[in-house]
A and B are shown apart, each in its own frame.
Chain A
Amino acid sequence: QLQLQESGSGLVKPSQTLSLTCAVSGGSISSGGFSWSWIRQPPGKGLEWIGHRHHSGRSSNNPSLKSRVTISVDRSKNKISLQLTSVTAADTAVYFCARVIYGDYDWYFDLWGRGTLVIVSS
């Protein structure tokens, strides 16, 4: 059974870059033609889509995060990465990676990692 596990820097200073990795185990990231997303949740608040990497290689990000987001997929290492530049306290959140299922009518996350807390503080 496919499993996702996020890891990375738990504490990031303001203005620096947040870097996270999502390791996929139990199967190949390349099989099935899936897309992969990052979603975040500030403490005590709701969910926010950060962006996704389509299986074709095309990326799409939340406009609210502008050009600060880079999502990449390393198929040789079975990992998805997230980089968020110029972070502020508003970027403090639990960050989740998730697998995307989509079609002409639907778009949803069927598999989630457990999440990792990132705190932005000096």
Chain B
Amino acid sequence: QSVLTQPPSTSGTPGQRVTISCSGSISNFGSYAVNWYQQFPGAAPKLLIYSDNQRLSGIPDRFSGSKSGTSASLAISGLQSEDEADYYCAAWDDSLSGPVFGGGTKVTVL
């Protein structure tokens, strides 16, 4: 059971906009930024978004992040087949005194 809560899956057709939610608490999102990672099968996670909404250099601008209160979301606009992957949210957590992850959301492109 993860500290941050994400839906297990979502899907969309090419060109569509999909949104992945991530629910946290005061001990994490209350004071710290959310980050988002993309992971393809058999590969390492890759940082997409840091500091709530900053894209890492080289990440397409169809990926965007936001946070409000204890909830955050990752949006993928103009969904492409190569976006089919698992996405994880993460943040520092004061209760753990370490970073915590969401359970991951599998994005399927129909």
Q: Which residues of A contact B (CB under 8 A)?
A: 37, 46-49, 51-52, 60-63, 96, 101-102, 105-110, 112-115
Query: Please, how many angstroms separate the alpha-carbon atoms of A62 and B100 in the complex?
Result: 10
Pairs of residues from A and B, 9 with the lowest C-beta to C-beta distance, nearest first:
A107-B92, A112-B44, A108-B35, A106-B33, A47-B101, A108-B50, A46-B103, A106-B51, A46-B104
Query: Please, how many angstroms separate the alpha-carbon atoms of A48 and B32 in the complex?
Result: 18
- Nearest chain-A residue to B98 (Cβ)? A49
Q: Which residues of B contact A (CB under 8 A)?
A: 2, 31-33, 35, 37, 43-47, 50-51, 56, 88, 90-92, 96-104
Query: Please, how many angstroms separate the alpha-carbon atoms of A52 and B50 in the complex?
Result: 19
> What's the nearest-Cβ distance from chain B to residue A112, in Å?
4
Other than A46-B104, A107-B92, give 10 A-B pairs with Cβ distance below 8 A. Answer: A46-B88, A48-B101, A61-B98, A106-B33, A106-B50, A108-B35, A108-B47, A109-B35, A112-B45, A112-B46
B88 contact set on A, CB distance < 8 A: 46-47
Cβ-defined contact, B101 with A46, below 8 A: yes
B101 contact set on A, CB distance < 8 A: 46-49
Cβ-defined contact, A101 with B32, below 8 A: no
A62 contact set on B, CB distance < 8 A: 96, 98
> What's the nearest-Cβ distance from chain A to residue B109, in Å?
21
